[in-house]
Structure 1
Amino acid sequence: MATYRQVGRLLGISARLSRPLVGSGYQSAGFHWPSHNTGVSDRWPQNPHWVVPGRTMFVQTQDTPNPNSLKFLPGRAVLESGTMNFDSPRDAHCSPLVRQLFRIDGVKGVLLGPDFITISKSDANMEWKVIKPDVFATIMDFFTSGLPVVNEDSQPSVDTAPSDDDDEVVAMIKELLDTRIRPTVQEDGGDVLYRGFEDGIVKLKLQGSCTSCPSSIVTLKSGIQNMLQFYVPEVESVEQVKDEEEEVAQA
């Protein structure tokens, strides 16, 4: 049986799992300030050094393999578990935070994770230094407002949850996705959703930084497919599936 280190090499994750929080690929907001109101604002504060005791936070950013997506780390829980993806403002009815983020010029998509927020920009030519200040301000103001990130009746995706209808092969695929693959992909600001298994083909949907990422095919074939085939011989290949809206947007 393969060791965890061998599996890590299949996905090329050994180095990433050991990298420190502060270092290559990470940047901080460059200041340390709290919100000075109880509402949610997408405007830059007049005095970024103004501090109220007990209401400070520090947001960091992490580069992702996709140059059009950036991972923001607020230093506190975002979701209790899982991820929630938002491709447009009309999808954000269940999240006050995401609605505020979509008001920022240049924001195309938002992915919420357990402890991160991935922002995807609409224009590859727009520099992150133009978008980041508004994102920093919105995240900080929101978390100090005390509002819930998502409404109580909204739940993250549970597509990899076990089902009574799953056979042994599907159950193994879901377990590998949930315990080995998704945590690694989420570390890079993305996520992978299970969409079915038929005739030896595992169908997956990519989200967050994985969407339209130049290395997404490499991730699917050299990473995810290799691991699934290593443990589940019945898997012949892995294919990406897209929603109709996603295909239209990328056309």
Structure 2
Amino acid sequence: MEDLSNLSLGRLICYPDAAVDELERRIGELRSLDVSGIILGGRSLVDGLPILGKGCTSTVVKAVAHGRFYALKARRTDSNRASMDSEAQLQVTANSISVGARLIGHTRNFILMELLEGWFVSEWLRGNPPMGELKAVLTRILYDCFKMDSAGLDHGELTDASKHIIIIREVVSEGGAAFKPVIIDFESASLKRRSRNVTSICQFLFLSDGGVKAPSIGGVNRERLVEALKAYKARPSRETFNSILYSTGLMVGQ
């Protein structure tokens, strides 16, 4: 942790303005989370140093806490948000319905959570996964969105979910593995507005130019899907949700 007092490394968790007093406060917050170190690595760069991610309101680094690796999300010093409290509470709500990366702890400026190592959904789809894996992942994504709708939790950014869903590989049995989608980034989520997760993700996956093309999974009836989405929007229920699954070819029998 002492290395973070060095301004070049401190900017990883106190970006972009690593003023000494602010950096010291943040190091104190990390100690309260039992964070013992930061691991360099990832696709984004801060001052030439690789980190997991960098956005308009936060940076994400790989951290060590309790002897394990986690993802640490740090509020940018120029963020328009006063703290990470709201996002953390919304992530707790998502976790309560088994959605999202598991939250470990948070402070005013940090969220410590489960580390997810995998592919953004857009990357994974471009890899042309086998039909069985593709359908299983898409079905899981839609079910998670339905659970959020049922809980009144609107993610807010799923019309372009390319970097808001990570596909991880998890061991399901000895010698076996499966792909699991995890919805991330709840900073724009809300419990106050109407929840539109299912309609948003279907727009991204099946109806937009950048989404999954109908021939990729077969059986997608665009006209029927549009009608099913209208019915779901008017009356969200398991029945209208199942109609969406049928119209996408992810469920058979109707």
Q: Shared fold (TM-score greater than 0.5)? A: no
> More strand by proportion, 1 or 2?
2
Q: TM-score, normalised by structure 2?
A: 0.28
Q: TM-score, normalised by structure 1?
A: 0.29
> More helix by proportion, 1 or 2?
2
Q: Higher relative contact order at CA 8 Å, sep ≥6: structure 1 or structure 2?
A: 1
